[in-house]
Structure 1
Amino acid sequence: MASSISSDLSSSRFPRVAVIGAGLAGLTLARILTEMGLSVRVFDKGRSPAGRMSTRHEAGGSFDHGAQYFTARDEGFQRQVETWVEQGVAAEWRARFGTLENGTLTPRNEGPVRYVGVPGMSALAQSFASRVDVRCGVRVEHVRREHEAWVLTSDTGQALGAFHAVVAAVPAPQAVPLLAGSPELSARVAGVRMEPCWSVMASFDAPVPLPVDGAFIHGSPLSWAARDNSKPGRPEGERWVLHATPEFSREHLEDTPEAVAPLLVEAFRRAAGVDVRPGRAVAHRWRYAQAEPSLTEGALFDDKRGLGACGDWCSGSRVEGAYLSGMALSRRIVFWRP
């Protein structure tokens, strides 16, 4: 076993890298390293790539139940957004925005250009995933050092291979045990606190009588509500996504989805001041939704051990931050040699 691992890795001209997590940060990193000639394999526990940019399909239609939209402030990310738009996997969301509080609506249409993936937010991650080696439905349980290599094992005991470097591109609390081989790095990541978020996907038989498509909500268990079908490239049918506040989500963290959904639908009714009766409402818990606060390093890498971490929690807790985090780590690994 030891000799086969050594010979396998020594025959590689460039570092062989494992990326754990197929969200935008991990896929950005994997795409760049792959294009630079490195051997990269991505593992993700989900059924498909995207992470919190997933698009979920329910009986009432499709929903962006995680990341809602994104903006571009960085010039490099703006160029990537323009490429996505040209490819048809992103478009500007020209929606009506406002603020809701106890039935009072205040228009709020100022602000940066907002973009979404097309036909769903997951399209952005999938556009990158199509260019790299991604293994979905695989939960990496152990990352252990063996003869100058990192050997990965799944939660079912499956051997996943040996690598020069391993990157945890998952929420910080999930990254900590994967980075145990670097005590300093693991301790740094362990200090990142991430807030939960309950999300409700609600479908209606008729349009909700609100003159906005996206609303920031104050004084409520909800922080956000969006008419999902108002986004470009979406199928017909009235569908809304409701996001709870961190406070509500922490308080109801271990409640069942069946218990949470009616609570947030009622919160939407109170905030909007209209009678909303969805034909179907399904709740989903994002246990690790947003870092409070996020790190400022962009990405983390122990160049002595070949262990690293990236994600939006390293760079602003936004879609743009996830992309920039993957970019930042790629610059460190592409010139790194074990």
Structure 2
Amino acid sequence: MASNSSREVMPPRVAVIGAGLSGLVLARSLSVSGFPVKVFDKGRGLAGRMSTRHRDGGTFDHGAQYFTARDPEFQRTVRTWLERGIVEEWHGRFGSLAHGRVTPETRGPMRYVGVPGMSAVAQGVASGVDVRTGVRVEQVRREGEAWALTSETGEALGTFDVVVAAVPAPQAVALLSASPALVARAAEARMEPCWAVMASFDAPVSLPLDGVFVKDSPLSWAARDSSKPGRPPGERWVLHATPEFTREHLEETPEAVAPLLVGAFARASGLELSPRQVVAHRWRYARAEPALSEGALFDAELRLGACGDWCAGSRVEGAFLSGMALSRKIALLQR
């Protein structure tokens, strides 16, 4: 009979709350290493702020617009995504816009987008990962040496050895309540909101740019979304409001906000704009200002942690690096 010391040690069971890029990167990394991982997300689909909306016969990247790759580890991963065909380079025309004056970008970073939408990146990462959508985790409760998760409907979701909150910082605070130190650190990450508008046009908008940083306006960004590779034909634009405008209009309806931002785009461009269809979406937690510097949060004794772009810089790259950083911390539990 085998002794207890010779028995194989089973890897910890991990629950990841949130199916944005950071949570999926973490889950995939641990799954490949042999950890049993289950991901829960309250949404109907994956990707979080990298999601793609389908409307009016076309698609809109209404959250993250593109990403760059500076970190060597992320650069290597992006190369594999390019080889798999889930991302491509966006060779658009970029620049700034203020009061009708266009200033083209003379030199900028290589920009990448998911194909056929930004959500393709998250879907590719999620391949082989056990993900359950449409479930909001309401309670994370300690039961002996394990964690018991319960949904908002009272459904028992299982017990796990490790729990990770891969959600925006304000939402992570409630899930990390067993660790006052983690709560205090997560509360330091302030997240700014953003109203986004998706507008379809019957004719091309006569602006000589595809991606525009807008100055002196309620808008911060405007993009000809249909100029990205792999997109359906048509003329579709995504407009992002400034944090200041969004905070001022945070609780207004999408129907009230949409025309305000289309009007702001018309004033900034000096063009008459008549969209065929326009829809607004509010991102209550869009960007961390400032983001934390740890990369990820983890209490090894409680086996409780958090990851997200708010831990490692408010970019797609930051979300990826945060998920990888936490996967390394959790992997140490097996040693």
TM-score under structure 1 length normalisation: 0.96
Give me the whole-angstrom Cα distance separating, in 1, the residues matched to 2:94 and 2:187. 37
Instruction: Find the counterpart in structure 2 of residue 224 from structure 1.
Output: 221
Instruction: Find the counterpart in structure 1 of residue 70 from structure 2.
Output: 73
Q: Deviations over 1:233-282 (max 9, x none)?
A: 00001000000000000000000000000000000000011111100010
Q: Deviations over 1:155-211 (max 9, x none)?
A: 010100000010000000000000001111111111211000000000000000011
**Residue 35 of structure 1, aligned match among 17, 32, 36:** 32
**Residue 50 of structure 1, aligned match among 5, 24, 47:** 47
Q: Deviations over 1:271-312 (max 9, x none)?
A: 011111100010000000001100010000000100000000
Give me the whole-angstrom Cα distance separating, in 1, the residues matched to 2:8 and 2:56. 50
Instruction: Find the counterpart in structure 2 of residue 142 from structure 1.
Output: 139
TM-score under structure 2 length normalisation: 0.97
Secondary structure at 2:39 match in 1: strand
Instruction: Find the counterpart in structure 1 of residue 295 from structure 2.
Output: 298
Contact 1:99–1:218, Cα closer than 8 Å, also in 2: yes
Amino acid at match of 1:178: L
Instruction: Find the counterpart in structure 2 of residue 255 from structure 1.
Output: 252
Contact 1:42–1:135, Cα closer than 8 Å, also in 2: yes
Shift of 1:58: 1.1
Shift of 1:337: 4.7
Shift of 1:115: 0.4
Give me the whole-angstrom Cα distance separating, in 2, the residues matched to 1:268 and 1:67. 19
Contact 1:60–1:203, Cα closer than 8 Å, also in 2: no
1:16 aligns with 2:13: yes
Shift of 1:127: 0.4
Give me the whole-angstrom Cα distance separating, in 2, the residues matched to 1:11 and 1:140. 31
Amino acid at match of 2:205: V
Instruction: Find the counterpart in structure 2 of residue 286 from structure 1.
Output: 283
**Residue 181 of structure 1, aligned match among 163, 178, 181:** 178
Deviates more, 1:107-116 or 1:298-307: 107-116
Secondary structure at 1:285 match in 2: strand
Show structure 1 runs of 4+ deviating over 3 A: none
Give me the whole-angstrom Cα distance separating, in 1, the residues matched to 2:180 and 2:57. 46
Instruction: Find the counterpart in structure 2 of residue 83 from structure 1.
Output: 80
Q: Alignment RMSD, CA only?
A: 1.3
Give me the whole-angstrom Cα distance separating, in 2, the residues matched to 1:258 and 1:238. 21
Q: Deviations over 1:209-250 (max 9, x none)?
A: 011100000000000000000000000010000000000000
Give me the whole-angstrom Cα distance separating, in 2, the residues matched to 1:59 and 1:234. 13
Give me the whole-angstrom Cα distance separating, in 1, the residues matched to 2:154 and 2:301. 28
Secondary structure at 1:33 match in 2: helix
Secondary structure at 2:95 match in 1: strand
Instruction: Find the counterpart in structure 2 of residue 7 from structure 1.
Output: none
Secondary structure at 1:334 match in 2: helix
Shift of 1:335: 1.7
Give me the whole-angstrom Cα distance separating, in 1, the residues matched to 2:230 and 2:39. 29
Give me the whole-angstrom Cα distance separating, in 1, the residues matched to 2:295 and 2:248. 31
Amino acid at match of 1:20: I
1:61 aligns with 2:58: yes
Instruction: Find the counterpart in structure 1 of residue 205 from structure 2.
Output: 208
Instruction: Find the counterpart in structure 1 of residue 3 from structure 2.
Output: none
1:156 aligns with 2:147: no
Give me the whole-angstrom Cα distance separating, in 1, the residues matched to 2:172 and 2:23. 12
Shift of 1:109: 3.8
1:233 aligns with 2:239: no
1:323 aligns with 2:320: yes
Contact 1:77–1:324, Cα closer than 8 Å, also in 2: yes
Contact 1:45–1:136, Cα closer than 8 Å, also in 2: yes
1:110 aligns with 2:139: no
Instruction: Find the counterpart in structure 2 of residue 119 from structure 1.
Output: 116
Give me the whole-angstrom Cα distance separating, in 2, the residues matched to 1:168 and 1:148. 18
1:335 aligns with 2:332: yes
Secondary structure at 2:198 match in 1: strand
Secondary structure at 2:332 match in 1: coil
Shift of 1:80: 0.6
Give me the whole-angstrom Cα distance separating, in 1, the residues matched to 2:173 and 2:144. 22
5+ residue gaps, structure 2, are: 1-6
